[in-house]
Chains A and B, each alone.
Chain A
Amino acid sequence: MRDGALHALNLLLRWQTPPGAETETDCDDAAEAIWRGVGFDLGSRHLVAPLGQVAEITICATAAPLPRTPAWVRGLVSVHGKGLAVIDLNAFLGAEPLATVDGARLLVMRSTGLQAALVVERVHGLLRFPASARQAASGQAGTGADRYVTASFGGGAERWSVFDLRRLAADERFRRAGRAGSDAPAARHAA
């Protein structure tokens, strides 16, 4: 995404109602309801986060590393004067940590009581789908990203899986990133 487009998207995100269920649709005037979300790539997968769950998209700043956190916590960055924990989503989901690529962006989560941003490979910007095209996910028992996928749109190479950031934020493992070190004090550094 170009900077201008990024800016416009952020403006749009600004007026979204605070975290809604991913099933929320925007049905103000059209005969057919439209589902909107922010599309991004993770590995080879196309994911889309519900619009109301994303606060902002920013470029990747260098994060200050946080000690005694899991490898998927990249550190802390400052966005609008607020410290956000930067989470390598790929690594959190059990895959390789994301290599630093040009298109990488931070997807700032809109979540109460949580200040986190996800590093993603590429942001596609605003995506719209007819609400009727939504296909519910097969089941809850997925692995990796599938654990947080609640639905999908389209098929084949143009299949977009709806990634529920609220489900991610509720995940105990995710929420307790800062506790990882305190459970086993000094274990890593035993002389």
Chain B
Amino acid sequence: MHNSVALQQQVRASLGAWLQEGGSVRAHQALCRTLSAIADLADSRGDPTVRGVADGINQMLDMFAAKSGRLSEQALGTLRHSVEILAGWCEHHDADEDAGGAMPQRGAAQLDANGPGGGVTDPRAIREFITDALTQLRAIRLSTQHIAAETGLGVDLQCLEPALAQLRLHAGSLEFASMAEACRQVERSLELKRQRGRALGSTDLSHLRQLHGLIARALDALLRDGTLAGTPDTEFDRFAEAVAAYAEDPPERATEEIGALPHDAVPEPANDEDGEADGAGDAARCAAAADAESLPAPLAESPPLEAEQAPPLLSADGLPCEATGFVSASLAGLGPVPLSHRLSHLRDVLDTAAHAQGKSAVLDLDADVEIDEALLGGAMAPLESLLRCAVAAIEPASQRTSLGKPASARLTLGGRTTGRQLHIECRHDGAGLDVAAMHSKAMKAGLIPRQATIGPEDLVRLLLTPGVGSASMAGWPEGAAFRAALGAALEDIETLGGSLGLVGRDRGEQGIEVVLPAQLPLLHGMLVRLGAQHYLLPAAAVREVIAPATAGVERSEPDDEPWIRYREQRHPMLDLFRELELERPGADPDREAIVIVALDGVEIGVAVDEVLGRRDVVFQPLQPPVADLVGVAGAACVNGAGLALIIDVGALWERHHPRASLTSGAAEGEEASHDAPQSGVIMVVDDSLTVRKVTGRSLRKHGLEVVLAKDGVDAIEKLRENRPDVMLVDIEMPRMDGYELTRRIRSDPLTRTIPIVIITSRSGTRLRDKAMQLGAEAFLSKPYGEEDLIETVRQMLAASALACGHSRAGVDH
């Protein structure tokens, strides 16, 4: 039997070698041997979780080999993390051996009992898990969408299976046993289907969606509470059982086949209203929202019929990003989504509106366009309003027949992008507007100067003007409805920074065009309430939310500089009420939530009255006369909360704690490094993630700032924002190689003096000569040691300081 302490060191070393050698066969085999030794040891100790983790790692290594040496950053993170878990287990196991007992298998239910401070509730591990799980959930959701749309089944399974495997692995490594088991069962059922040569069906899709919903909800709970204690294991367990039963004995039903589901009926998980701070009622609501698809019999708690009629794709306000769960909100910005994905939803809206007015209309899409999902979410409400406009413009059926038009009206949507704008046009064959009549009426009223050019946007304004707009709608029974819907659309579109225009002046085929900026400055914010006001904190900086009356929060004495202690960590507090000049009648520590915000070098706490959850909003910087307002980064319109200021907590903190005191920690770190501190910014350009990471780490350890670029093109882009003091450049890279990059750097007056160190695995003099000719200063041959690297960089920094005549780098010599 292996000695567990030896194994602990061995597994870390094997991974290190594996990473260093870019997954060479030798390193691969060594790592596999160590893993199987650990797994055997675990088996002998009756600990199946460890076997699962080891198996998972093996699977990832295989994936790595299959993808010829490329793993995503997240996958690498998971890999490292998993190995750490094994190493940690070995260490524990050693202690257990002394005590004469096996390490108990801890399930999620026991997690809470273990309390904070246990290895599993390590906030860092949890954060890593959440990040990783989010990535995998996206993959699952995208695959699910594609499967539902019957496109590229094979391709999607290739993404789906690793995503499930990685989720299972990571969940297992954190001992979220039920979640890992649920993933495993779904994986297995898909695998079985494939073995049996059967197509995926609606039940499989439903399983994927349920799993997505369950995990999303668990993540929300995890984020909120730091443990999975609030998530009932039983749901995962029952789900896993249901999937297992289905996999063993799938019913032979024709309706099983794909196509029974609308394209876009992927439910929004965790679409709850009450925000993250409220845990109690979440479960039921989320279950309804996430699982509103047809459920397999054992799980069907909400009536599926109702859900089918209204797929909870969008909340009532049309903004999927308004979902308050962190996970669901983070999923909002999935990247570009074709407008056609929302077509069936829009058709539903049209049907309802047309039906209400006793009309009939069909909607077609004649030109699809891809829209950022977050933006599309915001654009749905105005698009729905425009459909209602079109319905109001449709003549009654009798009138249509007498005009020789088909009884059913035809609406067409068309999208296109031009430069930085996105246009969506909604045309209809209903009654046209008499633009000329409206024009002359406005002219008579003296509202339009004689020579004015009237653009499409101006026409919309005219339409909305009482007494003027109606002039263009002679004989329209629903002119008022048209204008109301148009007004609503305009208001929503303006919030997104866009505009509306009337296109087509002839009565034939008129339409309304929406113009939106293709790229909006979207901000992921955490909406909080202080007194009667709402504010947004940039979500990227929010580390944690501590719900009101959470146990284990220790507070400073009233006369002290305020702080709280939570999970072994002490956070200084910033009084946001005072900073924002808000009245605070009778602060009650038990009723306030605390948001932990990570600033440069310190994690501080701010007390708020309520945390309403994440929001994706359109960021507006403050303009004069109130620009430069310290502590307010900008503002944004938030549905249901009006205009909310975006608070720059860092700036407020610095008003009281100037930066010098913040960086003292970093200074200590520098002193700890064994050499004299030398500062400088080093850009590492290499297409190998491993090289970037290892090199970056070595440089940072020596107090150097590091900018990483993955190839020449990336480097050129990063050079626009950073001017490094030294560049380390690999030769062989995709898109733009090291030679070309060197040539470009030397030909740009702004960058020509930056010393370049060429890194190459070949040491032929021909390559060197070529690089020297182009202007490289030095060489490093792969693999290079840390000492060589630092020495070379030091020389370059010193030379560069001399050459530039400024002593930024050489000041300490």
> Footprint of B on A, CB under 8 Å?
3-4, 7-8, 11-12, 14-15, 28, 61-62, 64-69, 73, 76-78, 80-83, 85, 87, 113-116, 174-179, 181-182, 185-186, 188-189
The A/B interface has a contact count, at CB < 8 Å, of: 128
Cross-chain contact B494 with A76 (CB below 8 angstroms): no
Stretch of B304-312, B464-472, B752-760, B803-811 with 4 or more beta carbons under 8 angstroms from chain A = B464-472
Residues of A within 8 A of B643 (CB): 64, 76-78, 83
Residues of A within 8 A of B622 (CB): 76, 83, 178
> With an 8 A cutoff between CB atoms, is B153 at the interface?
no
Residues of A within 8 A of B642 (CB): 61-62, 64, 78
Q: Of B452, B467, B496, B634, which is within 8 A of A15 by CB?
A: B452
> With an 8 A cutoff between CB atoms, is B316 at the interface?
no
Cross-chain contact A8 with B630 (CB below 8 angstroms): no
> With an 8 A cutoff between CB atoms, is B645 at the interface?
yes
Cross-chain contact B625 with A182 (CB below 8 angstroms): no
Closest A residue, CB atoms, query B623: A115
Cross-chain contact A178 with B625 (CB below 8 angstroms): yes
Residues of A within 8 A of B582 (CB): 65
The 7 closest A-B CB pairs, nearest first, are A81-B494, A178-B626, A178-B629, A115-B623, A177-B625, A4-B466, A80-B494
> With an 8 A cutoff between CB atoms, is B449 at the interface?
yes
How far apart are the CA atoms of A83 and B495 in the complex, in Å? 10
How far apart are the CA atoms of A15 and B648 in the complex, in Å? 38
Q: How far is the CB of B288 from chain A (nearest CB, A)?
A: 33
Closest B residue, CB atoms, query A12: B447
Most A Cβ at <10 Å: residue of B446, B450, B495, B625: B625
How far apart are the CA atoms of A12 and B446 in the complex, in Å? 8
> With an 8 A cutoff between CB atoms, is B533 at the interface?
yes
Residues of A within 8 A of B497 (CB): 81
Given contacts A8-B445, A67-B579, A85-B625, 11 further A-B contacts (CB under 8 A): A7-B465, A8-B447, A64-B533, A66-B626, A66-B632, A78-B637, A81-B497, A85-B626, A181-B630, A182-B629, A185-B630
Quick one: given A8-B465, A76-B635, A81-B497, are A115 and B579 in contact (CB under 8 Å)? no
Using C-beta atoms within 8 Å of the partner chain, give the interface range for chain B: 35 or more
Give the interface SS of chain A, mostly helix, strand, loop or mixed: mixed
Residues of B within 8 A of A83 (CB): 620, 622-623, 634-635, 643
How far apart are the CA atoms of A85 and B635 in the complex, in Å? 11
> Footprint of A on B, CB under 8 Å?
442, 445-450, 452, 458, 461-462, 464-468, 494-497, 533-534, 578-582, 618, 620, 622-632, 634-635, 637, 642-645, 655-656
Cross-chain contact B467 with A113 (CB below 8 angstroms): no
Closest A residue, CB atoms, query B450: A28
Q: How far is the CB of B658 from chain A (nearest CB, A)?
A: 10
How far apart are the CA atoms of A87 and B442 in the complex, in Å? 32
Residues of B within 8 A of A80 (CB): 494
Residues of A within 8 A of B462 (CB): 11
Most B Cβ at <10 Å: residue of A7, A76, A77: A76
Cross-chain contact B447 with A67 (CB below 8 angstroms): no
Cross-chain contact A68 with B623 (CB below 8 angstroms): no
Q: Of A3, A66, A82, which is within 8 A of B620 by CB?
A: A82
Residues of B within 8 A of A81 (CB): 494-497, 618, 620, 637
Cross-chain contact A69 with B629 (CB below 8 angstroms): yes
Residues of A within 8 A of B626 (CB): 66, 69, 73, 76, 85, 177-178
How far apart are the CA atoms of A4 and B625 in the complex, in Å? 31
21 intermolecular pairs with C-beta atoms under 8 Å apart: A11-B462, A28-B450, A61-B642, A65-B582, A66-B645, A67-B632, A68-B581, A76-B635, A77-B643, A78-B642, A81-B497, A82-B494, A83-B622, A83-B623, A83-B634, A113-B624, A115-B624, A177-B625, A178-B627, A186-B655, A188-B581
Q: How far is the CB of B112 from chain A (nearest CB, A)?
A: 40
Most B Cβ at <10 Å: residue of A28, A61, A78: A78
Cross-chain contact B630 with A182 (CB below 8 angstroms): yes
Q: How far is the CB of A137 from chain B (nearest CB, A)?
A: 24
Q: How far is the CB of B520 from chain A (nearest CB, A)?
A: 11
Residues of A within 8 A of B630 (CB): 68, 181-182, 185
Residues of B within 8 A of A62 (CB): 642
Q: How far is the CB of B446 from chain A (nearest CB, A)?
A: 7
Cross-chain contact B533 with A175 (CB below 8 angstroms): no
Cross-chain contact A179 with B580 (CB below 8 angstroms): no
Q: Of A64, A67, A114, which is within 8 A of B581 by CB?
A: A67
Cross-chain contact B624 with A114 (CB below 8 angstroms): yes
Closest B residue, CB atoms, query A109: B625
Closest A residue, CB atoms, query B625: A177
Q: Of A67, A87, A185, which is within 8 A of B580 by CB?
A: A67
Closest B residue, CB atoms, query A85: B626
Cross-chain contact A64 with B645 (CB below 8 angstroms): yes
Residues of A within 8 A of B534 (CB): 64
Cross-chain contact B644 with A116 (CB below 8 angstroms): no
Residues of B within 8 A of A15 (CB): 447-449, 452, 458
Cross-chain contact A181 with B450 (CB below 8 angstroms): no
Cross-chain contact B623 with A113 (CB below 8 angstroms): yes
Most B Cβ at <10 Å: residue of A82, A113, A116, A175: A82
Most A Cβ at <10 Å: residue of B446, B465, B644: B465
